[in-house]
Amino acid sequence: MLKNYFFLFLIMNLYIGCTQDKKVHWKLQSQASETSIDYQELISFSENIKKMTNGKFVIDIYYGGQISNGGNIFESVRNGEVDMGNGWPNWWSAQHPSWAVMNAGPFDFMNIDASMIFFLAGEGMGHANKLAKDKGLIWRPAWWPGMEFGLISPKPIRGLQDLKGKKVRIGPGLPSEVLSLAANSFSIPLVPSEIRASLKSGAIDAVEWTTANGILDLGLDDIAKNAIVPAVWQPSVLSDFLINQKSYNDLPENYKTILEVAIQSYTLMTTIKAKKKDIESLEVLKDRGVVFNKWSKADIEKWRVSADKIYAEYKKQDEFSEKLINSKQKFKRDYNKYYELFQSYEN
C-alpha cells in the first residue's frame, strides 16, 4: 500500500512540475518504415511523453528518409538537426569501428535476454556511451528484434556456395564483412526504402532485412519465395537510440525522468509486440508459399571460421573494439554456464 502511495506521489509531483515547465519541441528521426511496429510504437512513445508533461514536451516522429536516413541519422543527431535518432549500432560504424561490434555479430549472444542483460544491466550501456559521449551524444537501447530472418531471394539459395558472386542487401559493418568472406559475395547496405525496388529490378539477388514481420512489412514475399535461415550474422540484433547531449542537458529534470521511463517502456513493449508478430508472420510467409532452407553444419562451420578471422581483425585494429568483444564474450560464457543447469528440459 505504501508503495502505491509513493508511486502516486511521484507521478503527481512530476505532473505538477510539468505544468510549470517550459515547452520543449524535439524531432526524432527513425530508420523504420511508416507501417512497421517499431515506428507505430514510437508514435505511442511520443504521445505518452506529451500526456505525462501536460502537452509541454512534444517529440515529432519521422520515418526513414524524411529528414535523414541510414548512417546519416548519426550526423543529424550530432549536429542538432534532430534531437533523437533511432537506428542500428552497426550503421554508425563509419564513426568508429567499434559500433560494428556493438550490435550482434556472428556467434554473439544467441538469445534476446542475454543481450538485454548485457546492455541494460551489464557493461554494454557503459561501452556504448563511451563511444557516444565523444560525439556529443547519449546512447540508449531501443528494442530487440532478436534473431533476424535470414536471406530471402527470388531464386533458391541452399548454402554458401549458391551465394558466390551474388549481390546481397545487408547492413554495414561486421555482419556484412563476415558474409562477404564466408560466401565470397558482394554486400550492399541499402536503406529500407531502397530494398524492394532493388530486389524487383534484379539489382540485388537476396535480402537480409530484420525479421519475418519485416519481410512482410516491405512486401518482399511478393517478389521472392525462397529463404535460407537462420541469420547467422546477427542472432540477437538490437536497435538503438541516439540523443543529442545538449538537447538532453537543456531538459528540465522531470522531463529527463519522463523521457528515460518512456524509453524503457518503448524498449519492453516494442520487443515483446514485435516478437509476437514475428511468430505470426512466419506462418503467414509459409502460407504464401515461401520455401525455407537451413544452413548445413558444414556451412555453419565456414561461417564460424570467417567470423573468427573478422573478430581477430577488429581486435588488432582497435583497442576499444578488443575490450568490447572481450566483455561480450566473458558475459556470454557466464550466461551459458548458468543455462547449463537452468535450461529447457523438454527436448
- pLDDT for 235 equals 93
* Predicted structure pTM score: 0.89
- pLDDT for 2 equals 47
pLDDT tens digits, one per residue of 327-343: 999 999 999 999 999 98
Is the CATH number 3.40.190.170 carried by domain 2-144+237-278?
yes
Domain boundaries for CATH 3.40.190.170 within the chain: 2-144+237-278, 151-235+280-309
- pLDDT for 14 equals 56
Longest CA span, the chain: 65
How do the pLDDT tens digits run along the chain, 347 residues long? 544 544 555 555 555 555 567 899 999 999 999 999 999 999 999 999 999 999 999 999 999 999 999 999 999 999 999 999 999 999 999 999 999 999 999 999 999 999 999 999 999 999 999 999 999 999 999 999 998 999 999 999 999 999 999 999 998 888 899 999 999 999 999 999 999 999 999 999 999 998 999 999 999 999 999 999 999 999 999 999 999 999 999 999 999 999 999 999 999 999 999 999 999 999 999 999 999 999 999 999 999 999 999 999 999 999 999 999 999 999 999 999 999 999 888 87
CB 274 within 8 A of CB 268: no
Return the CATH fold of 151-235+280-309: D-Maltodextrin-Binding Protein; domain 2 (3.40.190)
User: What span, in angstroms and rounded, lies between the C-alpha atoms of 255 and 25?
Assistant: 12
